[in-house]
Each structure stands twice: as C-alpha cells, then as structure tokens.
Amino acid sequence: MLYNLRLIGTTHLTPSSEIERIIKLEKPDLIGIELCQTRVNVLILNPPIQEQKEDTSLIGKISKAIKNKAKEQKLNYGSDMISAYKLAEQYKIPSFLVDRDIIEIKNLLEKIPQNEMIGFMKEIAEFESKQNIEEELKNINEEEVLNKLKTNYPVSYELLIVSRELYITNQILKQLINNPNKKILVFLGKGHIKGINKLLGFNI
C-alpha cells in the first residue's frame, strides 16, 4: 500500500459480505466509492417506489441490459458500491464519492458518432445472449476489453475511460492531500484500477 491508499477492484456484482470483509480487514479511516451524488440520491437516499420513465440514453440502455441479465441470474448489479456506501455509514467511517456525475456522462455520450452508437447496440444484443455473466465478469481480461473499446469506440473510450479516470484520480488526490495521515480505501470497478494507479504514479 502506498501513501496510506488502497484501491479495491470489484466486478459490480461483488456481494455485500465481501465488501464488508474487506472493510473489516483494512480498517480504513476514509472510504472512496465509485458513485456520484446523483446515483446516491436515486439508488440509496431516495429509491424510486414506482418504475421510473425508461431511460433511453446509451448509458440507460447498457445499464438496463446488465441489470436485466443480472436479475435473471439472481444477481444484484451495483451491489458493490451501494454496499460500500451503506457499510461506511453503518461503521461510521467517513466516505467520499469519486465518480463523474452520471447526467454529465449521459449527455456527453449522446454526442458520440453514429457508428459507435450502432456498435454499442450490437454489443448490448451480444451481452444479452450471455449465459453466466457472473463467471464472465470474474474471468474477464480488462486490458483486452479496454483495448477493444479504444480501437472500436475511440470517442466513447475517451469519455467513459480517460476523462472519468482523470476525474476519479483528481478526487482521490484531493483526499490524499487533505488527509495525509489517514488510511484511505477506494472501491472501483476493476477495469479502472490499472489506469488510475498509473495516473497516481504507482508502479503497479
């Protein structure tokens, strides 16, 4: 661990019990979570009682496909970050949100080239045919996936990966500067770990 910081990569299907085990083991003074305030408001602080109007944005379609597939297999997509947020509150550990606002991301992605939009629609259809997403996510080669995204969807790659990782890194650096003597634990999707370690200057 460098600078009293540890990044924990999750699959977004990581169960609450595993998140709790890590928190108890690490005993952090501060917990970072890959969420934004908009998502916290919607998913945790004020969860919708009725079905909301369908989100027809690209992110909305991707999210719906993943959530529906996860539900079919009795999995809870996004349980990792929601659990991290709730467990931080339960154990009275201060937390901070590291991700860019989902509304900003949605708006930016609506401006991607049409060929990338069509490509994503095909990817969604292929994903919906997967048999076991939990096993697939566990065994996924993140570097291979990111290289494919960078090659086939360069504009989306800049928006979803590069700009977000710069934003996330900046949020983490702020906490490192403001809390130099505290142990900080940050939960991120595992595909971001390598890039953010590199931006932080960690030789990993």
Element (H, E) at 10: strand 5-10
Predicted confidence at residue 204, as pLDDT, reads 45
Predicted confidence at residue 1, as pLDDT, reads 42
**What is the secondary structure of 139-192 as a DSSP string?**
H--HHHHHHHHHHH-HHHHIIIIIHHHHHHHHHHHHHHHH-TTS-EEEEEEGGG
Indicate whether 50 pLDDT > 60: no
Report the candidate in 28, 42, 33 with the shortest Cα–Cα distance to residue 186. Answer: 33
Q: What is the pLDDT of residues 159-187, one digit of tens each?
A: 989 999 999 999 999 999 999 889 999 99
Predicted confidence at residue 92, as pLDDT, reads 97
Indicate whether 141 pLDDT > 50: yes
Indicate whether 6 pLDDT > 80: yes
Better pLDDT: 50 or 156: 156
CA distance 185 to 189: 13
Predicted confidence at residue 46, as pLDDT, reads 77
Backbone dihedral region for residue 92 (phi beyond 0: left; psi -120 to 50: alpha; all else: beta)? left
Amino acid in the structure at residue 23 = I
Percent of the chain at pLDDT > 90 equals 51
Cβ proximity of 88 and 94 under 8 Å = yes
Residue carrying the six token digits 């928006």: 159
- pLDDT confidence tier of residue 89, bands split at 50, 70 and 90: very high
Which of 36-50, 52-66, 117-131, 185-199 reaches the highest mean pLDDT?
A: 185-199
Q: What is the pLDDT of residues 100-125, one digit of tens each?
A: 999 999 888 888 899 998 988 888 77
3-state secondary structure of 103: helix
169-182 burial code (b ≥16 CB/10 A, e <16): bebbeebbeebeee
Backbone dihedral region for residue 69 (phi beyond 0: left; psi -120 to 50: alpha; all else: beta)? alpha
127-159 burial code (b ≥16 CB/10 A, e <16): eeeeeebeeebeeeeeeeebeebeeebeebbeb
